[in-house]
Homo-oligomer: A and B are copies of this chain.
Amino acid sequence: MKAARPVLDRGRPADYIPALACADPQRFGMALATVDGEVHGVGDWREPFSVQSISKLFALALALSHGGNALWQRVSREPSGNPFNSLIQLESEQGIPRNPFINAGALVVTDALLSLTGDARGAVVDFLREESGNPAIDTDRAVAESEAGHGHRNAALAHFMASFGNLHNPVDDVLGHYFAHCSISADCRDLALAGGFLARHGLRADGSRLLSRGDAKRINAVLLTCGTYDAAGEFAYRVGLPGKSGVGGGILAIVPGRGAVCAWSPGLDAAGNSVGALAALEDFTERSDWSVF
């Protein structure tokens, strides 16, 4: 927290929708959940925020848990090397997104989860509630509507993939569920607990298996190489952990075998990652011996 405080002024909240633009960049919170379910928090760690792209991680895990590896024929697992909403690579690669964490990839994942469960949004909400034990977690309808109202770029991505046959549900349904799970509100404690299954090599909080050990390792690998937009290399260097960021200001990082850490502060850097959360996670891995490098 001492590391984050001085840099908070350097970030700016996401401004493409009013609901996010109004966030106070001075807010900062952080929570650590061990594999055993022990939780520690500082600052605004119980303040709910918009999880945004962090939900992509849970949608991916749930789609894999329900449908297995068939998903990997519809989305690749390599870094994109382009800003997260680029259409260029999607065109040259015939509608197959580079990885499940760019927007195009998350739309395919959402489409798959919708086919598998009938309710992609509900599946993510239920999972977060169960892992965190917090029944209050839910979609913020105002944010979801605001996203939908500013979602032309995502609609373009979705229609473009549909033109290649890589969406199976109606475009509007997929977009609706996508915006809805990105608009979930949760706090640092909730997300750190919900990320535990990746630290426990696939086991949920109750000890049941969500994913095979291999699938959990796979997700961690994709997080490290693709989890933070166009700054995965920088994140790997500074934090050295698999992590997923969202433009709501949250970053969820996984320490395999040990636990999960979620930091939050609304101010973003040019790449769309939270300035304060990044600084706090960097400081955390430097002080602990939890970096992988």
Residues of A within 8 A of B (CB): 76-82, 86-89, 91-92, 98-99, 152-153, 155-160, 162-163, 171, 217-218, 220-222, 224-226, 230-234, 236-237, 240, 242, 256, 291-293
Residues of B within 8 A of A76 (CB): 233
CB pair A256–B293 under 8 Å, yes or no, is: yes
A-B contact pairs, 25 of them (CB 8 A): A77-B237, A79-B225, A79-B232, A79-B233, A81-B81, A81-B82, A81-B89, A87-B91, A88-B88, A88-B91, A152-B159, A152-B171, A153-B163, A155-B159, A156-B156, A156-B160, A156-B163, A159-B159, A217-B293, A221-B237, A224-B236, A224-B293, A225-B233, A226-B233, A242-B293
Residue from A76, A79, A80 having most chain B Cβ neighbours under 10 A: A79
Residues of B within 8 A of A78 (CB): 79, 81, 230-234
Choose among B87, B221, B237, B291 the residue that contacts A293 (Cβ–Cβ < 8 A): B221
Q: Whole-angstrom distance from the CB of A162 to the nearest CB of chain B? A: 4
Residues of B within 8 A of A89 (CB): 81
Residues of B within 8 A of A80 (CB): 79, 81
Choose among B152, B160, B240, B256 the residue that contacts A152 (Cβ–Cβ < 8 A): B160
**A80-B81, A81-B82, A230-B78 in contact; A218/B242 too (CB < 8 A)?**
no
Bound-state CA distance A88–B157 (Å) is 13
Residues of B within 8 A of A156 (CB): 87, 155-160, 163
**A81-B98, A230-B78, A256-B293 in contact; A87/B221 too (CB < 8 A)?**
no
Q: Whole-angstrom distance from the CB of A161 to the nearest CB of chain B? A: 8
Bound-state CA distance A139–B225 (Å) is 33
